[in-house]
Amino acid sequence: MSLALPWLLVLLPLPLLLRRLLPPLVQPRRALRVPAHLAPAGEAAGLPDLRDTPWLAALAWVLLVLALAGPRVERQADVIPASGRDIVLALDLSGSMEQQDFILDGQPVSRLDAVKQTARAFVAGRTGDRIGLVIFGGRAYVAAPLTYDMGAVVQAIDEAQIGISGRGTAIADGLGLAIRRLDGSEAPSRVVVLLSDGVDTSGSVPAIEAARLAAAHGLRVHTIALGPEDLESRPAARDAVDVATLRAVAEMAGGALFRVRSTPDLQAMAEALDRLEPSPGERPPLRYWQALWIWPAALAALLMAVALLDPRRLTGRRA
């Protein structure tokens, strides 16, 4: 707790200074002398003298000065403001995502299961962003529109299954649909995170042309090349990822390429992506001052009311 205007506490001795410096108050003499036993009945009704209750008046003055000084306490807001960033995840659900070449918790798992766990953790930490999900195989469709509801996006990720969008790899179609979802957004920062483990085989246009369109609309595209083999090192490998195309897409749209061969690579990728697109949840909490002046002011008003209350006016006689 602190005071907004602590220097106002210098007003505390003001009544004592006024009493010392000002001439004493001269009480007017009564115009009519009456016997002592008739005096109570002849007294005019009026406000009592606060000097009859000096401790109440003093305490009320202290509380009033304290209220003017502005007592306050620092609070922390739990609400995280919107970041102004829209992110669309474009996840490859082609048949090659069934390959069990990732190790998770000591057990071999498919590429899809490893990606799902990482994507869930990434989305859950994006409080303050709007997140959408596009899924593509031979075709592309929107699994979750842009929303602040992270639970809904996580549920859409959990429900994604290989085969529901075909078993091909339409990278350009997935990227193009993500661009369309962001094209109408007015957010100052718009990002596509594209994950694929194969070669663009079903797209209607080259993926690089979709990346050029993204750059023209001010979108940033990060790409994730998933799988142990790639066409650059082993051109004849089955289910190898086209790293060159994904690198060109990222470079064209101002993003970064992440090469993921194992579960640790996937976790490192998520951490690096968090650094490139920091979550508002990682910002310092919002702090503000809660004013408390109303409490001493209300108590001072109550004490003044008690000091000015004259029971004799209610009974018509002295105690």
* 85-276 belongs to CATH 3.40.50.410: yes
User: Any alpha helices (H) in the chain, and if so which ranges?
Assistant: 14-21, 39-42, 54-69, 111-124, 150-159, 171-183, 207-216, 243-252, 263-276, 294-308, 311-315
Amino acid at the residue 178: A
Q: What is the pLDDT of residue 192?
A: 92
Domain map of the chain by residue range?
1-14+51-77+286-318, 85-276
Q: CA-to-CA distance for 168 and 19, rounded, in angstroms?
A: 94
Of 251, 263, 184, the C-alpha closest to 222 is: 251
Q: What is the pLDDT of residue 45?
A: 47
Where do we find the tokens 């220097």?
7
Under 8 Å between Cβ of 279 and 71: no
Q: What is the pLDDT of residue 285?
A: 56
- What is the mean pLDDT for each group of 10 consecutive residues in the chain (319 residues)? 86 83 66 59 50 72 90 72 78 84 77 83 80 89 90 90 78 89 86 84 77 91 84 70 88 90 81 74 62 89 76 42
Q: What is the pLDDT of residue 220?
A: 92
Predicted TM-score (pTM) of the model is 0.61
Q: What is the pLDDT of residue 113?
A: 86
Q: What is the pLDDT of residue 250?
A: 92
Q: How far is CA 118 from CA 48, 76, 261, 301, in A?
A: 76, 31, 14, 60
Q: CA-to-CA distance for 267 and 277, rounded, in angstroms?
A: 15
